[in-house]
């Protein structure tokens, strides 16, 4: 069931009144804590079980499909090769959430990597999306270097690292994990979290882009996405 909120954004999943901890039947990964700022409202919650949930997601490439899993479902990126070849060096697997654009927000995603293990095994969260040539993304990779496990900007040029702190790598395995990106537009602050929502694994500060779409994907690896929760205090009427 999907419930529409203000500005025609859609709350996808169970009834709006039932804002309870999410089931962990897909794994032992836990729902992320609400964290701060607690006053930001939930504007979208997608669990991919219903057609109305699925209609809100628009892939850029052809690697995506929806999978039924009993009473639930998930969004599968099942192809490593992509038919999407961006003009500038940047991820090749992208799915965007349709609806109003966001400025200050919190994007929480439960996903799993289905790629065989290697150093750059990855998943990405996209935000501030203006166009295929202008956006931010957080790249969570098994091992860190200047091209992996960083926050990047694509601005009419190949991706550029903008992260000011990161870790030695993201602990991908075959299980489900929560990942989150939080952005405060007023200061340009960006924080990325992996499972532990009290301590960021990456940070950056940049105010090049304002309102933009959010999304999920990878640079060139396979993933499954089970749930997406979006909170925001700034929702644009622009579509």
For 238, the token pair is 């622009």
Higher pLDDT, 232 or 24: 232
The single residue listed with the structure tokens 């340009």 is: 188
Question: What local confidence, expressed as pLDDT, does residue 21 receive?
Answer: 35
Question: What local confidence, expressed as pLDDT, does residue 32 receive?
Answer: 57
Paired with 235 in beta bridges are 102
pLDDT score of 143 more than 60: yes
pLDDT score of 22 more than 70: no
The single residue listed with the structure tokens 């999978």 is: 67
- pLDDT tens for 204-213 read 999 999 999 9
The single residue listed with the structure tokens 């919650």 is: 45
- pLDDT tens for 171-197 read 999 999 999 999 999 999 999 999 999
Here the contacts of 13-16 (C-beta below 8 Å, separation 24 or greater) are: 13/45, 13/46, 13/47, 13/49, 13/53, 13/227, 14/47
Q: What is the CATH number of domain 2-10+36-232?
A: 2.60.120.560
Distance CA 19, CA 187 (A): 30
Question: What local confidence, expressed as pLDDT, does residue 53 receive?
Answer: 84
């Amino acid at each position: 069931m999907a419930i529409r909120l203000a500005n025609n954004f859609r709350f996808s999943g169970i009834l709006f009144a039932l804002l309870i901890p999410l089931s962990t039947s897909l794994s032992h990964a836990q729902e992320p804590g609400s964290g701060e700022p607690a006053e930001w409202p939930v504007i979208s919650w997608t669990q991919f079980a219903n057609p109305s949930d699925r209609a809100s997601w628009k892939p850029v490439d052809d690697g995506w499909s929806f999978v039924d899993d009993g009473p639930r479902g998930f969004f599968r990126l099942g192809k490593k090769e992509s038919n999407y070849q961006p003009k500038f060096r940047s991820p090749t697997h992208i799915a965007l959430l349709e609806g109003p654009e966001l400025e200050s927000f919190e994007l929480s995603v439960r996903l799993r990597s289905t790629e065989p293990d290697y150093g750059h095994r990855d998943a990405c969260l996209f935000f501030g999306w203006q166009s295929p040539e202008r956006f931010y993304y957080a790249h969570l990779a098994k091992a860190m270097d200047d091209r992996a496990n960083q926050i990047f900007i694509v601005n009419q040029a190949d991706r550029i690292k903008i992260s000011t702190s990161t870790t030695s790598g993201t602990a991908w395995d075959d299980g489900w994990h929560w990942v989150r990106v939080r952005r405060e537009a007023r200061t340009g602050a960006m924080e990325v979290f992996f499972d532990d929502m009290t301590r960021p694994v990456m940070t950056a500060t940049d105010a090049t882009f304002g309102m933009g779409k959010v999304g999920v994907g990878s640079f060139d690896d396979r993933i499954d996405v089970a749930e997406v929760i979006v909170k925001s205090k700034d929702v644009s009427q622009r579509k």
